[in-house]
Amino acid sequence: MRWQGSRRSTNVQDYRGSRFGGPGLKLGVGGTLLALVAAYLLGVDPRLLMGLTESVPSGPAPTPQTGVPQDEQGQFISAVLGETEDTWGTLFAEHGARYSPPTLVLFTDQVRSACGFASAAVGPFYCPGDEKIYLDLGFYEELESRFQAPGDFAQAYVLAHEVGHHVQTLIGTSDRVRAAQRGASEQEANALQVRMELQADCYAGVWAHHADQSRQILESGDVEEALKAASAVGDDTIQKRTQGYVVPDSFTHGSAEQRMAWFTRGLESGSVEACDTFAGH
């Protein structure tokens, strides 16, 4: 991915190296893996699926460094965030609206959010309560080593997906889906969640389409990196790996085939309207 010339976003709060008060969340290796796959690319309060959040500790939170991080990994992620801001800012303006970007919170081990006190084991997540994306950059090591999905554009896809959840919040999709889930069965609620996640995948593709069209960010192999990451975290792939069989009614993010297909649809069309995963439902 060509990111070195990209504008860096200053909407970053860097808590790396700081420790939030309260007891740590201890998980075994198996529990950590299940936590990662259950909450990976999560668009809802991680407490609802994880059961990992403990009571919020008392006392003030650490003070973050704000602005553009100076290390290379921080520079990269702020550049990707800047690319999403520029792309979605333009797309919203074309529809007569103003894009209000999310804040990216970088942390180590555990963090306090409006959605609760969470361990890094929940993976990257977007919290609609404070419109922030939470990311322990150590997750990218897991993405490469445990999920066999390396590459800088695989990492960019992860962030772009979370930004997609922010877009859903801004345009009201998240509120409508949450309202529908409250009166639904578990199976129906899961199906709605899958549609939310697939739409965020499609929005990630829309971002990549426009960012590449405007600033030529894609290099050879980048799309394949994103598709490999999307496939690696499909519900069917994860269930086969962790339990040896697949239970489609329990899907919350979509199959590998669905995730790749919706990212590709957004990438090829560049159209937000093409990302209507709820059509007919």
Distances (CA, A) of 204 to 91, 122, 152, 164, 279: 13, 21, 14, 6, 19
Task: Express each pLDDT in 126-150 by its tens digit.
Answer: 999 999 999 999 989 988 988 889 9
* Residue 151 DSSP one-character state: S
**Could you tell me the two tokens for 64?**
């973050």
Pairing between β-strand 125-127 and β-strand 132-135 as defined by DSSP bridges: antiparallel
Give the global pTM: 0.86
pLDDT grade for 21, boundaries at 50, 70 and 90: low
CB-based contacts of 81, cutoff 8 Å, min separation 6: 9, 11, 12, 101, 104, 159, 163
Residue 207 has pLDDT above 50, yes or no: yes
Task: Express each pLDDT in 229-264 by its tens digit.
Answer: 998 877 777 777 678 877 787 777 888 899 999 999
Q: What is the mean pLDDT of residues 55-64?
A: 69
